[in-house]
Amino acid sequence: MLLFIGFIIIVGVIAYIGHLQAKKRREAFERLAMELGFRFYPQKDYSFAKRYGFLDHMDDGHKRYAFNRLFGETDGQQAHIFDYHYETYSRDSKGNRRTHHHYFSIFTLSLPAAFAELNIEREGFFSKIGQALGFDDIDFESLEFSKRYKVKSRDKKFAYDFCNAQMIDYLLQQRDLIIEVDGNTLALTFKGKLSIEAIRPNFERLKKIRSLMPNYLFNN
């Protein structure tokens, strides 16, 4: 009985600490929204996740929702900054179902033209195995860039235009970016929930990447 009561107390303490952390994060997002001149939507938004389901991870798993969402405009482009969640399930050796919660921090900017899907992320062990097996990965004149980043798109011309010399120089200075273009959306995705202190600098990185896209891409 004492063990059971102790377990309940521990669970309650953990839940309370989680509640305080979530409250602190919401309040920090609200202050950031005021600084940026954005609107703030703290509640879980399932329809928003569905609307952006074309982005990687946003159609994975179950119970997908965005929350702590910031929305506004910068240089005439719509921007979203938000936390994102989905669930997956597994079974243990006794057949009991376990729930796994996956969190991301995602930044998006609207683009004045639509493009074929483009994905850029750091090379990893499994991506290198995939290349060895013949899976497509676009190579560039910069050997260092090709070794460091995996670039995929069915439109190779757009990939080369996007990854121009200035963009390559900038990305070689970065270490943790996952970039996606799909339709008229440019996105940065980070696994896990970024600290509040990292939100604004990464929003600036998103805007920097947008500024390095050549103007001629939008003149056709």
Does 33 map to a domain?
Answer: no
Domain residues for the domain of 146 are 40-218
4-17: pLDDT as tens digits? 566 566 656 555 45
Q: Which pLDDT value is given to residue 111? A: 96
Helices (H), the chain: 2-36, 46-51, 125-132, 143-148, 156-162, 165-171, 196-211
Residue 167 domain-assigned (yes or no): yes
Residue 4 is assigned to a structural domain of this protein? no
Q: What gap in Å lies between CA 45 and CA 68, rounded to an integer? A: 9
| Residue 180 and residue 118 in contact, taking contact as beta carbons nearer than 8 Å | yes
Is 168 within the bounds of a domain?
Answer: yes
- Does residue 80 form part of some domain? yes
pLDDT at 178: 94
Query: Is 172 domain-assigned?
Result: yes
In a domain, 31, yes or no: no
**149 — phi, psi (to 5°)?**
-120, 145
Q: How many domains does the chain have?
A: 1
Cα separation, 1 vs 106, in Å, equals 45
Asked, for residue 94, whether it belongs to a domain, the answer is yes
Residue 24: C-alpha distances to residues 21, 28, 181 (Å) = 5, 6, 32
* pLDDT per residue as tens digits for the range 89-101: 988 877 788 899 9
With CA atoms as reference, report the closest residue to 57 among 152, 178, 158, 218. 178
State which residues of the chain have pLDDT below 70.
1-21, 124-136, 220
